[in-house]
């Protein structure tokens, strides 16, 4: 199964984008900007799909100090993890990943030689370079998984203040809770200490269909390295920054519905109807 391409912009809310700040330079100097890769490694759990707990990896290319003239593409040996750095000063990138069900197979693709970095990938004359990734220091970060407490998935809840509780792995840097009202397209993101196991958002839940994601986030920049890419002429890429960052994310996701409370006018109407019925009963009783 392939996870659809996810842009850095789309994932910025999850604190996972590593996009270099854009510096506007003339085209003559953009080609000399350094290129690096940010490895975003994830174990995705979704309570709506029990058993489908895939490992994915997003290799996000970045360019410093600014953009580049043509596109650059990165790919793992079998094309399971890919990314593209778009041309222009923005330095925007996108990445995609196949989902892999077991950690051993996942690591075989990640911790491998045969990775490819292709310069000018959007032109008729692309230049491929090959390199190796050493991720041997990474252990199975999907055990134990993150888990939002039972009672939310598929539930119908009243609007108002809501407490979320959860469990998950230890030795992570931060926890993030993302509460997204899909009906109103409003989203709130809360960063919590790594030791937290529950939280009541200060923003009460209003009516709508909700998607809530819990994320455990850890910086692992010291656990993954690369060799310098080399082309077919055995020439090394001179402007390679290597790994500019890496992180592990373990997440859980639930979806549920929040219904509105009766409005004051509706309550008043109901109260009036009840009073009317009582009066009718009283009159009938006196006849």
**Domain annotation covers residue 186:** no
Evaluate whether residue 183 is within a structural domain.
Answer: no
Q: Report yes or no on 203 lying in a domain.
A: no
At 272 the three-state DSSP class reads: helix
Whole-structure pTM value:
0.81
* Cβ within 8 Å of residue 196, ≥6 positions away: 175
Contact between residue 154 and residue 163 where contact means Cβ atoms under 8 Å apart: no
pLDDT attached to residue 88? 80
Residue 95, domain member (yes or no): yes
**Which residue segment(s) compose the domain that 141 sits in?**
2-146+214-252
Check residue 91 and give its pLDDT: 67
Best CA proximity match to 251, nearest among 201, 211, 209, 217: 217
Name the domain count of the chain. 1
Determine contact, residues 1/54, Cβ cutoff 8 Å: yes
Whether residue 240 is contained in a domain is answered as yes
Question: Per residue in 77-99, pLDDT tens?
Answer: 999 999 999 988 666 789 999 99
Nearest-angstrom CA–CA distance, 40 and 27: 30
Residue 72 belongs to some domain of the structure: yes
Residue 287 forms part of a structural domain? no
The answer to whether 37 and 244 have CB atoms below 8 angstroms apart is: yes
pLDDT given for residue 261 in this prediction? 76
Instruction: Tell me if residue 163 falls in helix, strand or coil.
Output: coil
Locate the DSSP E strands across the chain: 2-7, 34-44, 55-64, 72-75, 81-85, 93-98, 115-119, 127-131, 133-134, 147-148, 156-158, 164-167, 174-181, 186-193, 198-199, 208-219, 225-226, 240-259
Count of helices and strands (H, E) across the chain? 4, 18
**pLDDT tens, position by position, 171-194:** 999 999 999 999 999 999 999 999
Question: What does the pLDDT read at residue 3?
Answer: 54
The chain-wide mean pLDDT, for the chain, equals: 83
| The pLDDT value given to residue 18 | 32
Low-confidence stretches of the chain (pLDDT beneath 70) = 1-32, 89-91, 262-287
Q: Does 204 reside within a domain? A: no
């Amino acid at each position: 199964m392939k996870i659809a391409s996810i842009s850095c912009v789309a994932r910025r809310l999850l604190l996972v984008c590593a996009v270099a700040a854009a510096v506007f330079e003339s085209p003559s100097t953009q080609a000399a900007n350094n290129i690096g890769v940010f490895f975003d490694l994830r174990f995705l759990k979704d309570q709506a799909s029990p058993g489908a707990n895939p490992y994915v990896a997003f290799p996000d290319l970045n360019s410093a100090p600014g953009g580049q003239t043509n596109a650059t593409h990165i790919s793992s040996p079998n094309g399971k993890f890919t990314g593209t750095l778009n041309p222009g000063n923005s330095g925007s990138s996108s990445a995609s990943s196949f989902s892999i069900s077991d950690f051993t197979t996942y690591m075989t693709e990640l911790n491998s030689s045969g990775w490819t970095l292709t310069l000018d990938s959007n032109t008729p004359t692309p230049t491929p370079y090959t390199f190796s990734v050493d991720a041997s220091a990474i252990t199975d970060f999907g055990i134990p998984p993150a888990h939002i407490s039972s009672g939310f998935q598929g539930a119908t809840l009243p609007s108002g203040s809501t407490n979320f509780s959860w469990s998950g792995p230890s030795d992570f840097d931060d926890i993030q809770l993302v509460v997204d009202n899909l009906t109103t397209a409003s989203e709130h993101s809360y960063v919590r200490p790594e030791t937290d196991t529950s939280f009541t958002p200060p923003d009460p839940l209003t009516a709508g269909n909700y998607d809530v994601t819990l994320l455990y986030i850890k910086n692992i920049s010291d656990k993954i390295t690369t060799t310098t890419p080399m082309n077919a002429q055995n020439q090394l890429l001179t402007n390679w920054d290597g790994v500019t960052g890496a992180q592990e994310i373990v997440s859980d996701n639930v979806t549920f519905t929040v219904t509105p409370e009766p409005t004051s006018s509706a309550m008043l109407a109901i109260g009036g109807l009840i009073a009317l019925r009582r009066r009718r009963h009283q009159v009938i009783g006196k006849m």
